Amino acid sequence: MNVNDALTPVGNREEVALAEHVDVVVALRVRVVQQLLPVRAPPRGELRTGQRGQPALRLKRGHEAARTHPWIFKGDVADVSDRVEPGGVVSVVDPGGRFVGRGLFNPRPGLCCRLLTWTDEAIDAGFWRRRLGAACAGRAARPGAARLVWSEADALAGLVVDRYGPVAVLQTVTLGMARRRAELAAALRETIGDIAVFCADDPTAATLEGFEPAAGWLDEPGPTSVIVEEGAARFLVRVGGGHKTGLYLDQADNRQRVATLAAGRAVLDVFAYTAGFACHALLAGATSAICVESSKDALAGAVDNLALNGVAARAEVRDTNAFDELRRLDRAGARFGLVVLDPPPFARGRGALEGALRGYKEINLRAIRLLEPGGALATFSCSHHVSDDAFEAMVRDAASDAGVRLRVLAPLTQSADHPVLLTVPETRYLKGLLLERM
C-alpha cells in the first residue's frame, strides 16, 4: 500500500484513522489545559453509585459528551481521585456527583479516559466475558477471518481483535488494555475456544500511552502463516507480518461486491497490497489483472495469493509507484473495464487535508481516464479527515477535469464486522464509491 515516503501511513489503517482524529482534538484541548489534572478524593456521598471507595473522575460543567461518547479529554475533567492508578478503573461522575460511566484512566495522554460502560457494573473477568461474548456473537457468520472486536464500536475502547482461523491477533492501543492482555485473552478463549493469541500492538499508540508494545505470541506459539477463505477466494496470512494484523479485513465485503462486475473485463488493481481485489475479480471471470504495489512484503503476498487461487497466469504484479504507473498507463492510452483504487490514508491530520485531496484527485483523475465506456471504478479513502462530502466532491472534480460522466452504482464502506456507532463517528473511516463510466 506504500505510495512514497511522504504518503506512507504508520500503523494500521483503522488505528491511523482514529489516531489522526485524536491528534487534532488533543492538540486543541491541550493548548487550553496545559497543567496537570487537579487531583483530590471526592467528598463523602459525592459518588452516588453504590461503588463507594472506588476512584472517581468528575467532569466539568458543560463537558458531558461522555454520556454518549466514550472519550474523555483532560480539558473535560474537573478533578480526579488520587487513588486511581495509570491504566486503572475509574468511575466517571457529572458535576453533581451523579454516575455517568466507568472506564480506564491514564493521566499521560490528552485523551485520558475511555469509557467501557454506562451501567454501574464492575469491570472484572465477568465483564470481559460478557463483552467479548457479545462481540464474537455478532461475527458468528464469519467463521474464517473476521474482526471480532472493533474497539469503541464494541464498547471495548482500546482493543482490537482479528481472527484468522486458529489464530487471534490481539492489539491493545491503551495502557489500561495493555495491562489486561492475559485477562482479555483468557476471556476470549472462554468465548471461542482454545486459540493461539498473537500480540501486535501499535508502537505509536504505545508511545503515546506509555507502555511497551507487545509483538509476538502471548503464551503458546501458533502457526506463522494461515490460509483463510473469503467467499470464493483464499488468502495466505502471515501472522505478525505485513500491514495491519495480516489482512485488510475492512475490505472483505467490498472485494466480493466489486468482483461481481469483473467478468470479461481487464482489471487494474492500484495500491493492490496482497492482490485481494484482483484475486476475487479473476475468480469471477476477469480476463486479466494488473496489480500495482510498491511494498516488498505486499508484493510477495500478492504473488502468493494469485498462485494460491490458481489465477497467476492471468495476472501481472508491478513493483512501482502508483502515481507514476497511473500516469504511464494514461500516456500509453491503456483502457480497463474495472479499476480499483484503495490507497493508504493520505490525510493523517487536518493540516494535511488539502494536500491529501490533491493526491486523491490526481489518482482518481488518471483512473477515470483509464476506464473504457461502461467500465467501473471502485475508489476509496480510509482517512477519517476526508468526509463523505469532500470525497465525493473530489471525485466529481476529477471526473469533470477528465471530461467523463459517471453514474453512482453504490456508496461503499467498511465491512460489517467493523461496525459503526452513530454517536462515535470516529468508528467510521472507510468510504468509497462504485462508479460506472457512461
| Residues forming a β-bridge with 226 | 237
Any catalytic annotation for residue 112? no
Rounded Cα distance between 263 and 338, Å, is: 10
- State the residue for C-alpha cell 497543567: 35
3-class DSSP string for the chain: CCCCHHHCCCCCHHHHHHHHHHHHHHHHHHHHCCCCCCECCCCCCCCCCCCCCCCEEEECCCCCHHHCCCEEEHHHEEEECCCCCCCCEEEEECCCCCEEEEEEECCCCCEEEEEEECCCCCCCHHHHHHHHHHHHHCCCCCCCEEEEEEHHHHCCCCEEEEEECCEEEEEECCHHHHCCHHHHHHHHHHHHCCCEEEEECCHHHHHHHCCCCCEEECCCCCCCEEEEEECCEEEEEECCCCCCCCCCHHHHHHHHHHHCCCCCCEEEEECCCCCHHHHHHHHCCCCEEEEEECCHHHHHHHHHHHHHCCCHHHEEEEECCHHHHHHHHHHHCCCEEEEEECCCCCCCCHHHHHHHHHHHHHHHHHHHHCEEEEEEEEEEECCCCCCHHHHHHHHHHHHHHHCCCEEEEEEEECCCCCCCECCEHHHCCCEEEEEEEC
Catalytic residue among 113, 199, 279, 382: 382
Rounded Cα distance between 22 and 10, Å, is: 15
CB-side neighbour CA atoms (13 Å) of 196: 16
| Residues forming a β-bridge with 117 | 102
Q: Which of 145, 211, 220 is nearest to 178 (CA)?
A: 211
Catalytic residues: 382
